[in-house]
Amino acid sequence: MNKGKIIGVPYCVFVFFLIIISSCTANRKAIREPLKERGEEFLIDALKEHELDFHQFSAKFSVTYRIEKEKTSVTGNLRIEHDKIIWISVTPALGLEAVRFMLSPDSIKYINRLKSTYLVHDFRYINKLLNKTLDFDMAQAFLLGNDFSLYESSKFKASTDNQEYKLSTVDRRKIRRFARRNEEDISIPIQSIWLNPDNFKITKVLLKEAERDSRKFLATYSEFKEISGQLIPAKIEFKVETDKQKIQIQIQLSKIQLNLDEQTYPFRIPENYSKITDLQPEK
């Protein structure tokens, strides 16, 4: 994989959008006080302190994704075991499961019940499919509105932007002790993170290439709900822009639950299913 590639996500999996709330009286608009200046260390510590902390996560979702003028909507269930499993069941109509995904730090598994096929690959297959760099830590963080936990954060610079705090960095690299065997060097060319000044939750993440401003990935998070004492974004939007196309993914989460003892991640491949080697022909 190439260092110059922007990080991306599988557009069939993910999700949503930033809502800025403003208030007014009958006579005048409320004016917010200027933000107090904060340093990089303070903001990074505050970001980490207010991230979602969990062992098990589950939610129902509805996803709408657009590629240029084509629009598709599906619903389903999302389950996550922290740092171990991302499990996704997609039900496009009538509550009947069509496909099931299971991601782990080193593999991707996929079942298509409509075509009686399955796929099993190592995680590098996703990078080959997307022509972008992505690992399990990034995928988990994008779905939850967290920062990348396995990447160094010592080079961020702090600023303010539109009444939010902003952290920016270039060439962010994976912490050496977390690099997996035979894993190629993954770096994030340019990254910016916006934080809500009241609760220090991530509201927006921008990733883009150093050489080409036209290729970028934007994630926004909004409609935060308090679940078990923690704030979780119920709306997420991903926008991917390249020279060739624009992709927009919107996700609405509902029935969010944390740390269910009985949560399972079933994935059994029926004996009569045929193995495929590529997801592309399944479209």
Residue 19 lies inside a defined structural domain of this protein:
no
pLDDT band at 29 (very low <50, low <70, confident <90, very high): very low
Q: Give the helix, strand, coil percentages of the chain, each rounded to 5.
A: 10, 45, 45
More confident residue, 88 or 24: 88
What b/e sequence results for 66-77 when a residue is b if at least 16 CB atoms lie within 10 Å of its CB, and e otherwise?
A: beeeeeeebbbb
Residue 25 placed within a domain? no
Per the structure block, which two tokens stand in for 213?
């401003």
Q: Coil, strand, or helix at residue 174?
A: strand
- Asked whether residue 202 is domain-assigned, the answer is yes
Kindly tell me if the per-residue pLDDT of 18 is higher than 70: no
Residue 33 domain-assigned?
no
Task: Give the residue carrying structure tokens 């084509």.
Answer: 70
pLDDT: which is higher, 249 or 68: 249
Residue 282 falls inside a structural domain: no
Range(s) of the domain holding residue 89 = 40-259
Query: 14 in a domain, yes or no?
Result: no
pLDDT of residue 178: 73
Number of domains present in the structure of the chain: 1
Residue 55 lies in a domain: yes
Provide the pLDDT for residue 28: 36
Backbone CA torsion sign across 30, 165, 80, 107:
positive
Widest CA span in the chain: 70
Residue 199 confidence (pLDDT) above 90: yes
* Model pTM score: 0.82
Percent of the chain with pLDDT over 90: 58
| CATH assignment of the domain containing 189 | 2.50.20.10
pLDDT (tens digit per residue) in 137-182: 999 999 999 999 989 988 999 999 999 999 999 989 888 777 665 5
In a domain, 168, yes or no: yes
